[in-house]
Amino acid sequence: MKTNINGVMYYYEWLSGYESNRPTLVCFHGFTGTSQTFAPVFQKESDRNILVIDLIGHGQTDCYVHPYRYQMDCLCQDIALLTEKLGILSFSLLGYSMGARVALGFTCLFPQKIHQLVLESGSPGLQRMSERMMRKRSDEQLAGFIMSHPMEAFVDKWEKLSLFDSQKRLSSKIQETLRQERLSQQAFGLACSLWYMGTGVQPDFWQELDKIKSPTLLIVGELDLKFQHIAQSMKEKQPDMSIEVVSDAGHCVHLEKPEIVGEVVYTFLSSSSEKR
pLDDT tens-place string over residues 204-221: 999 999 999 999 999 999
Angle at 38 between CA 33 and CA 42, to 5 degrees: 175
pTM for the model stands at 0.97
Does residue 217 contact residue 120 with C-beta atoms inside 8 Å?
A: no
Query: CATH assignment of 2-125+203-271?
Result: 3.40.50.1820
| pLDDT, position 276 | 46
SS3 state at 216: strand
> What angle, rounded to 10 degrees, do the helices at 151-159 and 129-148 form?
140
Beta pairing partners, 216 = 117
Mean pLDDT by groups of 10 residues along the chain of 276 residues: 97 94 97 97 91 98 97 97 97 98 98 98 95 96 98 98 96 96 98 97 94 97 98 97 98 98 97 64
| pLDDT, position 253 | 98
Q: What is the DSSP string of 147-185?
A: HHS-HHHHHHHHHTSGGGGGGGGS-HHHHHHHHHHHHTS
Q: Give the number of C-alpha atoms closer than 13 A to the C-alpha of residue 135, restricted to the C-beta side.
A: 16
| pLDDT, position 209 | 97
User: What pLDDT, in 10s, does the model give residues 106-136?
Assistant: 999 999 999 999 999 999 999 999 999 999 9
Candidates 186, 266, 254; CA nearest to 38 is 254
Q: What is the rounded distance in angstroms from the CA atom of residue 132 to the CA atom of residue 204?
A: 9
| Residue 113: CB atoms within 10 Å | 19
| pLDDT, position 16 | 85
Candidates 212, 268, 208; CA nearest to 243 is 268
Does residue 250 contact residue 223 with C-beta atoms inside 8 Å?
A: yes
